[in-house]
Structure 1
């Protein structure tokens, strides 16, 4: 009996360490308004394991950001981001998002995309519910830089829609 406990102790320790390694779910978005190009320039940082779990939903096999075919990954990433993040300058007008690229960094990935604006603006409405359907405790932080100002906003369950002004 004591031998069985000694064998199970290292397994229990490893499982508890794995839980501590990634105890929260969050993304960070760096959002910049570029008035010369009339676009929003967006860099989104997401934990790789969380992102892969969301991308794998509905797929016959699990998706790996680094090992799955690049074309498949790009398509799934753009679909997920378009479902989860929306910008608009007036009600009913969702700005199209264009994927620029994906970059691996340690235990996370950066996803870069742009949103063209129809005209110069001083605000946009943003809906940000990335990964909220997979992780109810998900927090999405947005750092906005526009018109020489910086501000940060927090999007979470029940607070998916906010107005960004500059």
Structure 2
């Protein structure tokens, strides 16, 4: 029994060390459908240092939010039922190691398909993983975006 515990402890140590040495780059986006306003609301969480490096401006700088807005408009496209939709940037918030970015698209009366191109940080960080969770009328669907797989689609 002690031998098994020892082997488990050593293996756990090596696994933990391999994670400590690896860089991990990710973003998380939640898309919520607001039926009353017929709007898709996007909330994206990014690492502060990663987005700062990508847009080449520090978060405490006055123009940070404007640069984040330009960056999101350049790296995210949304198609509802096959039709392109304009994104409206509604703000951002720096909270320590995270930057929260808010944007939306309106005029979504019904959602049969949602196609998203999410290239956030993929150019700057080749191993970046962008996860998008879409909530629509009680259903939840998840999309993963990687370099080379910047576009995904869900159907309802």
Within 2, Cα distance between the matches of 1:165 and 1:35?
A: 17
User: Equivalent of 2:61, from 59, 62, 68?
Assistant: 68
Matched, 1:102 2:92: yes
Matched, 1:82 2:37: no
Alpha-carbon deviation of 1:76? 1.0
Between 1:146-155 and 1:109-118, the stretch displaced more is 109-118
TM-score w.r.t. length of structure 2:
0.80
Alpha-carbon deviation of 1:21? 8.2
What do residues 60-103 of structure 1 show as CA deviations (whole Å, max 9, x unaligned)?
A: xxx111x111xx22221111101111101255x43111122212
Within 2, Cα distance between the matches of 1:148 and 1:96?
A: 25
Partner in structure 2 of residue 26 of structure 1: 26
Within 1, Cα distance between the matches of 2:87 and 2:153?
A: 18
RMSD of aligned C-alpha atoms?
Answer: 2.0
Alpha-carbon deviation of 1:121? 2.3
What are structure 2's unaligned runs of at least 5 residues? 1-19
Within 1, Cα distance between the matches of 2:64 and 2:96?
A: 18
TM-score w.r.t. length of structure 1:
0.75
Within 2, Cα distance between the matches of 1:143 and 1:94?
A: 19
The runs of at least 4 consecutive aligned structure 1 residues that moved more than 3 Å come to: none
Matching of residues 122-161 of structure 1 within 5 Å: 122-161=112-151
Within 1, Cα distance between the matches of 2:90 and 2:102?
A: 5
Alpha-carbon deviation of 1:118? 5.2
Matching of residues 115-126 of structure 1 within 5 Å: 115-117=105-107, 119-126=109-116
Structure number with the higher strand fraction is 2
